[in-house]
Structure 1
Amino acid sequence: MKIKYSELIDQTLYFPQEELKYEDHQLYFHDIPLMDLVEKFGTPLKFSYLPKISENIKKAKSWFKDAIKKNEYKKSYRYCYCTKSSHFSFVLEEALKNDISLETSSAFDIDIVRKLYENGKVDKDIEVVCNGFKTDDYLNKISDLINHGFENVIPILDNYRELDKLTESIDTTFDIGIRIASEEEPKFEFYTSRLGIGYKDIIPYYSQKIAEHPNARLKMLHFFINTGIKDTAYYWNELFKCLRVYARLKKIAPEVDSLNIGGGFPIKNSLQFDYDYEYMIQEIVYQIKKFCEEEGVEEPNIYTEFGSFTVGESAGNLYQIISQKRQNDREKWNMIDSSFMTTLPDSWAISKRFIMLPLNRWEDSYERVFLGGLTCDSDDYYNSEQHANAIYLPVFSDTKPLYIGFFNTGAYQETISGFGGIHHCLIPQPKHILIQKAKNGKLVYEVFSEEQKPEDVLHLLGYK
């Protein structure tokens, strides 16, 4: 009978993996010794391993390069980072090392572009694709960038009003794009995305408002669906509908030269994760080329806006199991020294799953448990993992501390929970460290933010 946790892993999961291994009585993530990290910085702890950001960008660019060459595709590929996935300066600065463009979604994003320019991280030729519903503040900041020489800023029209507002405030020629309001999957509560302009309205709108516009030049058609890039009939059907619009536009608007297929590459959320990135990219490039050839139009430059794929797999969260509660004959609750609602809000808000593994004690016997956070909210729990919708961990002991890690947590978690703010039941935000790798291969650690202190929280609440 297999009773060790390590034997359970061998029996049920694909392990070790490229980024995860267990050696010398501890778990390693991208060769980072995680128990050493715990001893050095304590728990709860958030860490970001920055080289992984560049690694994923380079992978995607290489896959597209190969697909373009294989399919004899005549145009180019451009990688955009979707800033809303993580706005932190260390993320943007690492991503920008790789010759990429940026995709923004709100007025404050433009302030980030300004700050990057002031700090010498980007030049005025940085390409910025401005998405989302645009408030007057957002539109004014886009216009201000363009008026000050940022010639590669491309506002993507979400509605008819936006072009009128941009025309009023921009005093030079400028590029624009149009976002297609794609149809959602049948399971959605609505049929059509609230973002963008309907398929049938784009050609008439171009003819009436853009074709003879003195300053605006239509450069890009933008397409995105919420469920992401998947090998499903729904995805291919929506892509072909987008291509039909592109082909019709190209015939009357030769200046349109780019197709933005948005984001949506999944990231690894399980040790049994299986997604063929290369196949999907090859198929997308092939289908775009084939469709354009059949329509007799020039194929477009291809843009993507990868957010989670860029930054998600670069980070992890570490916790200690501080106690175990037995509520009945069957349920054991292992309590972490933090809150899932504070540190992993996607886990309770949209039932998102992350890779979860213990950092130590793999040679001990295991038990089935539930994981509980420190808030008094019944939703502050985590109860399923890759082990057949259950969590198995080494048996709890008062004398042998157990530590666990959640991995690939780099996208959205801090922005959703509110970095540095007030959290449910005033559970503090954990310490956050950055990890780089020096030229000699040595890991370099930097504390980005300390764990919140009581006085920090009281000050925010107005207690003097």
Structure 2
Amino acid sequence: RGLHIVPIIEDEDELVYFTNLKSGKSIGDVGIRIDVDVKVKSHWDKKFNRFGFSAEEVLNMGKIKNLKMLHYHISSQVVQSKDLVLLLKAAIKIFIKLKKVNPALDAIDIGGGFAVPYEKKKLYPIDGVIKNIIKTLNETVAKESIEPPDIIVEWGRYLVAPAQITIFKVLHQKTIASGPAKKWYIIDGSFINDLSDTWALHQKWHVVPVNNMNAKKLIRVWLAGSTCDSDDKYTAGGHYILLPSTENLETGQYQYLAVFDTGAYQDALSSHHCLLSSPAKIIAQNGILALARRRETPDEVGKQFGW
């Protein structure tokens, strides 16, 4: 169908499988994943990485059947742009050595890691990072008289996170006796179900009011989901969110809140904890609104569990 799929080998069993395919059953080009021995500040700043081969292991393999691509993926939400280039420098050295015994090798996949500015704090510009990556790559391979390889990136989070916002309705509020915030705002959804990175990764979000934006009084609040779980909350890392007071809303009116940059992972990881319904999904494009999915009814949720 016009797609060129390159399987990435990242452990010994896969290596044996792909390199031992009999003639006529070859899947064509393959890539190999390395564990770059460079530590960076990021979401996944772990001591151990189970993915990929070490540089020593890969270089000891010599010629690898149909090797087309070198791949690494160090982390998510890399804090400093210089670390993205630092990783590339380490990977290029391995690429050059592999290229000498694997002449068909002509692509490098630098994985993900480009950070999303979830809290709307200035991070690093994408144009500058791309220029540094290309410049570093070209200069390094030129010293070895090697043609620059194709560059592949997996900056999916950076691309799709801004494509979605999540809107909640504040159902009611409760007073907090003591703490940085003064009120709980209870929403008509769940951070566990709808924005699971909130409790899984302690993700901070940019939260703004949708209506009541001219309220004269702003108060410190924490947000709580509608499940029975004490982890179903958002406190901005234990601080507070500054939002309009609801005291000036007319009877029957509700406060609505928007959470930005929720397009990556949140829907895919969503659930029905406490049997809450999946929210409606609306597509807004070129000034036109379309209902892509209506909110589930209680009966529809029950049927998923065989009731």
1:266 positional shift:
1.8
**SS, match of residue 412 in structure 1:** coil
- For residue 14 of structure 2, the aligned residue among 147, 159, 162 is 162
Secondary structure, counterpart of 1:320 in structure 2: strand
Q: Give the whole-Å Cα distance in 2 for the aligned partners of 1:174 and 1:362.
A: 58
Measure, in 2, the Cα distance between the counterparts of 1:290 and 1:230.
25
Distance 1:355 1:199 in 2: 40
Matched, 1:342 2:186: no
SS in 2 for 1:392: strand
1:309-356 CA deviation, whole Å, 9 max, x = no partner?
Answer: 221111011111121101315531111111111111111110112221
Paired position in structure 2 for 1:452: 296
- For residues 349 and 172 of structure 1, do their structure 2 counterparts lie closer, same or farther at Cα, with a shift above 3 Å needed? closer
Between 244-253 and 390-399, the greater mean CA deviation after superposition = 390-399
The 8 Å contact of residues 62 and 101 in structure 2, kept in 1 or not, is answered as no
Match of 2:52 in 1: 196
Distance 1:412 1:436, change over 3 A: same
Amino acid at match of 1:185: K
TM-score (ref. length: structure 1) = 0.60
Q: 1:259 to 1:228 in 2, by over 3 A?
A: farther
Q: Secondary structure at the match of 1:324?
A: strand
Alpha-carbon distance change, 186 to 171 in structure 1, aligned in 2, over 3 angstroms:
closer
Question: Cα 1:384–1:228, aligned 2, differ >3 Å: closer, same or farther?
Answer: closer
Q: 1:161: how far off? A: 1.8
Decide which of 197, 200, 205 is 1:354's aligned counterpart: 205
Aligned CA distance change for structure 1 residues 290 and 228 (closer, same or farther; 3 Å): farther
Kindly provide the amino acid, as one letter, of the partner of residue 263 in structure 1: G
Structure-2 separation of matches of 1:429 and 1:303 = 35
1:380 CA displacement: 0.8
CA contact under 8 A between 1:435 and 1:445: conserved in structure 2?
A: yes
Q: What per-residue deviation string (whole Å, max 9, x for no partner) do you get for residues 88-143 of structure 1? A: xxxxxxxxxxxxxxxxxxxxxxxxxxxxxxxxxxxx222xxxxxxxxxxxxxxxxx
Which secondary structure does the structure 2 equivalent of 1:369 belong to? strand
Q: Residues 326 and 431 of structure 1: is their aligned pair in 2 closer, same or farther, counting only changes over 3 Å? A: same
- Please, which runs of 5 or more residues in structure 1 have no aligned partner? 1-123, 127-151, 211-215, 438-442
The residue number in structure 1 matching 2:97 is 248
- CA deviation vs aligned residue, 1:384-431 (integer Å, no higher than 9, x gap): 28xx9421111123634211101110110011124xxxx221121111
Is 1:185 the counterpart of 2:34 in the alignment? Answer: no
- Which is bigger in relative contact order (C-alpha 8 A, separation at least 6)? 1
Contact preservation (8 Å) 2:169, 2:187: yes
- Could you say which residue in structure 1 is the equivalent of 2:219? 367
Q: Describe the shift of the 1:427–1:173 C-alpha distance in structure 2 as closer, same or farther (beyond 3 A).
A: closer
Separation (CA, whole Å) in 2 of partners of 1:228 and 1:183: 18
Query: Letter of the aligned partner of 2:196 in structure 1?
Result: P
Cα RMSD, aligned residues only: 2.4
State the Cα distance separating 1:455 from its structure 2 match.
1.5
Q: CA separation of 1:436/1:190 partners in 2, compared to 1, >3 Å: closer, same or farther?
A: closer
Question: Deviation of residue 288 (structure 1)?
Answer: 1.0
1:394 maps to which residue?
244
How far apart, CA to CA, are the structure 2 residues paired with 1:232 and 1:264? 10
1:383 to 2:239 alignment: no
Structure 1 residue matching 2:292: 3-state secondary structure: strand
Deviates more, 1:157-166 or 1:345-354: 157-166
Question: Where in structure 2 are the equivalents of 1:62-461 lying within 5 Å?
Answer: 124-126=1-3, 152-166=4-18, 167-168=20-21, 171-172=25-26, 174-183=28-37, 185=39, 191-207=47-63, 210=64, 216-228=65-77, 230-231=79-80, 234-328=83-177, 331-364=182-215, 365-384=217-236, 389-397=239-247, 399=250, 400-418=253-271, 423-437=272-286, 443-461=287-305
Distance 1:322 1:172 in 2: 58
Q: List per-residue Cα deviations over 1:65-91 (Å, max 9, x = no partner).
A: xxxxxxxxxxxxxxxxxxxxxxxxxxx
Does the CA contact (< 8 Å) of 1:183 and 1:191 recur in 2? no
Structure 1 position 190, deviation (Å): 5.2
Q: CA deviation at 1:255?
A: 1.1
**Which amino acid counterpart does residue 283 of structure 1 have in structure 2?**
N
Indicate if the aligned counterparts of 1:182 and 1:193 stay in contact, CA closer than 8 A.
no
Secondary structure of 1:202's aligned partner: helix
State the secondary structure of the residue aligned to 2:165. Answer: strand
Q: Select the structure that is richer in helix.
A: 1
Residues 39 and 45, structure 2, Cα contact 8 Å, conserved in 1? no
Q: Tell me, which stretches of 5 or more residues in structure 2 are unaligned? A: none
Supply the distance in 2 between the matched residues of 1:184 and 1:375 (Cα, whole angstroms). 41
> For 2:128 and 2:232, how far apart are their aligned partners in 1?
38
Provide the TM-score with structure 2 as the length reference. 0.88
User: Are 2:76 and 2:114, in contact at CA under 8 Å, matched by a contact in 1?
Assistant: no
Q: Check the 8 A contact 2:34/2:53 in 1, yes or no.
A: yes
Q: Give the deviation of 1:191 after TM superposition.
A: 3.6
The separation in 2 between residues aligned to 1:218 and 1:273, in whole angstroms, is 39
Q: CA deviation at 1:180?
A: 0.6
Equivalent position of 1:67 in the other structure: none
Q: Flag the 1:229–1:371 CA change in 2: closer, same or farther, 3 A.
A: closer
Local SS of the residue matching 2:137: helix
Is the contact made by 1:181 and 1:192 (CA closer than 8 Å) also made in structure 2? Answer: no
Shift in Å, 1:454: 1.5
